[in-house]
Structure 1
Amino acid sequence: MKTINIIGSGNVAYHLLRAIEKSTNYKIQNVAVRSLEKPVDFIAADLMVLLEDLKPAAITLISVTDSAIAAVSEKIPYTDSLVVHTSGTTAMDVLNDKNRKGVFYPLQTFSKQKEVLFEEVPLCLEAAEPNDLNELKLLASELSNNVFEITSEQRKSLHVAAVFVSNFTNHLYAIGNEICAANNISFAILKPLIKETADKIRCLSPKDAQTGPAIRGDQKTIDAHEQFLTNPIFKEIYKLITQSIQTNV
């Protein structure tokens, strides 16, 4: 059974740990955390160590904020091991040269409060050496049915696209929720619409699935909506997205 070290205790680390725990061919050796004085509820006490106390493992997964990846990889207390990060935007080359390098990027929105079907999560892989890429593919195939070899440049563009379809979309949900709350309407009324909008792109391209006043050129409705919106930021977002839809017809 091959050993895995995880560095980090955030959302991605949580879901990776949960997925690897189900594996019959890999086991979590240690999870490096910032402090042992503050227990992390999802990590068994006997797995938690400080970064400087990590023992070599077959694969080390760095799952920390992007700005800390380089410094963390430099502080890993062993050499010539396979060390990968889980970032969507950070280049593989930021990893310290004392270890072999790779990327193990799970393309999903993760929250500790909600479980995901990890076997459906796309895992985007990159490695400096072919043998290490094969090693990552073996691990990825153990955890998910969606495994892709992706370069750093491709991963960067994929992450930008992901921000649009996930983070920005969720923020629009938050705006919709705020508008509903301000007018004593339950946001739950919109949930079937949200579900159907997401379901449609299973069989249609996003462009073909587009509906609404912008695509119809219904300027009367657009003007009414803009007049209704008193929050200047919401109004500007509405105008920009309307313009983008109409420009890309």
Structure 2
Amino acid sequence: MGGPVEQGVWGSVGAQGVRGEHTRGGGGGGAVPGARGVVQRASVRGQVLDALRAALVAGELEPGEVYSAPVLGERFGVSATPVREAMQQLALEGAVEVVPNRGFRVVRRGERELAELAEVRALIEVPVVLRLARSVPGERWAELRPLAEATVRAAGAGCRATYVEADRAFHRGVLGLAGNAELVRIAEDLHRRAQWPLVRDVAGLVADAAEHVALLDALIDRDVDVARSLVREHFRVR
């Protein structure tokens, strides 16, 4: 566990916000005894989970390295418990694996696994988008314009953590038009797993974001042939 790597994580995700949330957790009355503490604990865990996900995408948590919950907790200014709970969630997502009596090892994800994830995503998302292209009116697609533009801004700024959130939001918005919550949940889980390590450089992110805009333009124009070409290209492994 290299110190410089951990410092990068905390410096980039705002550990002070997590620390402040933690220190407010002791005491205070309420209509339901203990409810405030439970809510705040969940809030701390959520903030730690978001920070760890951002660190994975940025490459600040290195594949193959083992990280202990107590040490990470010290860096965040929280106890090891919310860190351990966040890491358990990442283990369920396949991002880390438990190393008994040591902590959690960041999983190495090779080109083949990333290609397989892209293939599964394509099998799910491409048919759905093409079906929606034939049935959803242009004005509904136009409502997603801010989501596509957000990916363009994030890519142009070179902020990977912001880009991955904007990227998922755009795909979630598109698939949400199918009205199938389970579809959205499964697709987003696959999408999140495919986002780390984020191997593309800034130019690659800009190209991906441009594809979002081009696809949306085709969908607004009800041009199914162009939409088909663009959505298939979007899932090509790069």
Q: What interval of TM-score do these two structures reach, taking the shorter chain for normalisation? A: under 0.3
TM-score of the superposed pair, with normalisation by structure 1: 0.26
TM-score of the superposed pair, with normalisation by structure 2: 0.27
Task: Give the strand-richer structure, 1 or 2.
Answer: 1
Please say which structure displays the higher CA radius of gyration.
1
